[in-house]
Amino acid sequence: MSKQSAQPQNQQAWLGGLLKGIVKLLSWMPLRLNHALGSALGSLFYWIPNSNRRIALINIQQVYPELSSEQQKAMLKANLKQTAKAFLELGPAWYWSSEKLFDKIVEIKGKELVDQAMAKEKGVVFLGPHIGSWELIATYLSVLYPSTILYRPPNVPSIEEFMVNARGRFGATMVATDGRGVRNLMKALKNKEVTAILPDQDPGESGGVYAPFFGRPARTMTLVSKLLQKTDSECLFAVMQRLPKGAGYVLHFLPADECIASEDPEVATIALNKGVERCIAIAPEQYLWSYKRYRKPPQGVADIYKNKP
């Protein structure tokens, strides 16, 4: 191995070790302190120019044009605090026992929807958008039900094994988001298992179609509709809403429109995004607005992330 190729690997290993250490440290803290640090970090990100602040403000202005400038900035500040909390929650999410985590879920709304879905003895696809503590949704499901969960390999390869082991420590089978992973997921759903999918990720050029998201076209995955068609599974939305001052979480289950399984990609993705919008309405400030949901717009539609301060 040449010195040039070894250097990036050493940097990746160093960064991976640092991230593991930070997550471990965060797991030792009580949730109230964890969230207090998140609020402080989010406030810092509000005052210091950075890409998260910039993208979040653009998205908030796009989605909530009826708000005044001051209201949009207030929502931005609250949102950056919530985004920081989501990162700092990786300690509890990846290290705490199931008993300790479940103790923080103070209320479950829509549990009857889960019971009804399970009673049909089919696979169940849970759609958990980037809102609140989305990491805990898959953890909750894997404790209670046989689960196979898709994951996107991290940008830091040296942390992948650690991440997979942490997410799968309660028995979930973790499969990467590639062709083999999707095939394994289909097999698991046909075997009446459950899965959790982040439905608002950009699927790339070949994995989806454009569908309105808060009135603006966004690339939207067709994976969900294909899974439902080929496995005859049930489908529900899920949101782990974060409560103030480390008080815990409220877990919401919401029904999915039956059109989400349509063979027409346009119909299915419209239903998918409408479901995501309903989830966001539960706690708009807890959505990951710093994500470029409108990246790579269709021809003739302006890119809202370009040429803006």
Span 67-125, pLDDT tens digits: 999 999 999 999 999 999 999 999 999 999 999 999 999 999 999 999 999 999 999 99
Distance CA 159, CA 12 (A): 9
Q: What pTM was estimated for this model as a whole?
A: 0.93
Residue with tokens 């040449």: 2
Hey, what amino acid is at 242? R
DSSP 250-286: EEEEEEPPGGGG-SSHHHHHHHHHHHHHHHHHH-GGG
What would the two tokens of residue 52 be?
Answer: 């998260």
pLDDT tens digits, one per residue of 220-256: 999 999 999 999 999 999 999 999 989 999 999 999 9
Q: Return the structure tokens found at 216.
A: 């603006």
| 3-class DSSP state of 131 | strand
SS3 of residue 50 by DSSP: coil
- The DSSP secondary-structure symbol of 243 reads P
Residue 197 backbone dihedrals phi, psi, to 5 degrees: -130, 140
Phi, psi (degrees; rounded to nearest 5) at 207: -100, 10
Which runs of E-coded beta strand occur in the chain?
105-109, 124-127, 148-151, 173-176, 194-197, 208-213, 216-221, 234-242, 249-255
Rg (CA), the chain: 19
Nearest Cα residue to 291 out of 130, 155, 50, 71:
130
Local structure of 129: helix, strand or coil: coil
Residues in a beta bridge with 262: none
pLDDT tens digit sequence for 134-143: 999 999 999 9
Q: How many CA atoms lie within 13 A of 249 on its CB side?
A: 30
Average confidence (pLDDT) over 138-160: 90
